[in-house]
Amino acid sequence: SDVYKRQATVTVTDASAPTPDVASLADITDECEVSALTAPTATDNCGGVVTVTNDATLPITTQGTTVVTWTYEDENGNTSTQTQNVVINDITNPVAICQDITVSLDASGIASWSAADINNGSTDNCGIQSVSIDNTTFDCNDVPKLVLSGVIDGPLSGGVPKAVELYVLSDI
């Protein structure tokens, strides 16, 4: 019986990407912002280290849904991805706080003011985006009519702005 010896080289390669540990990532929700994300995990078929990264720019403050893509990479450069929704939905109304002001008519019979003149510390859980009024001047013809109305709005359109109305009660 003859015995033959041959030498062969067997190369084992890892061509399989890491597998996410959960099939679907849960949505992350907040009213104002998401400033940190918890990295999900994945398993590699060869048992090596899996590096996890994402494409998010933090903090996420944009009203609505931002899709974050997570990338899992094993030690051999194989990658897989998974997406996660970050939902920002401001549902808390701003609190409008106004103060009384006294204005005097000038020589032309006109008085004026700004939204800052009547704002007295209005607040919103996500910060005040704007304080505005629709009329910044009045004259004798406006007494005792509605002088102005305004809106105090938070930074996100999902919240309901608070309206403010001021009246002139008498001619001074």
Q: What backbone torsions phi and psi does residue 71 show, to the nearest 5 degrees?
A: -120, 130
pLDDT of residue 108: 84
pTM across the whole model? 0.70
Q: What is the mean pLDDT of the chain?
A: 84
pLDDT of residue 31: 95
pLDDT in tens, 30-76: 999 999 999 999 999 988 899 999 999 999 999 999 999 999 999 99
Residue 100 CB partners (closer than 8 Å, separation 6+): none
pLDDT of residue 112: 87
Peptide bond into 59 cis (omega under 30): yes
Cα 2 from Cα 8, distance rounded (Å): 19
**DSSP letter string, 103-156:** ----TTSEEE--HHHHBSS-B-TT---EEEES--EEEGGGTTSEEEEEEEE-SS
The pLDDT of residue 29 is above 90: yes
For 134-151, give one letter per residue: b (16+ CB within 10 A) or e.
eeeebeeebeeeebbebb
User: Do the Cβ atoms of 137 and 112 come closer than 8 Å?
Assistant: yes
The pLDDT of residue 172 is above 90: no
pLDDT of residue 119: 87
User: Do the Cβ atoms of 147 and 135 come closer than 8 Å?
Assistant: yes
Residue 62 CB partners (closer than 8 Å, separation 6+): 88
Band (156; pLDDT cuts 50, 70, 90)? very low
**DSSP letter string, 36-56:** ------EE-TT----EEEE--
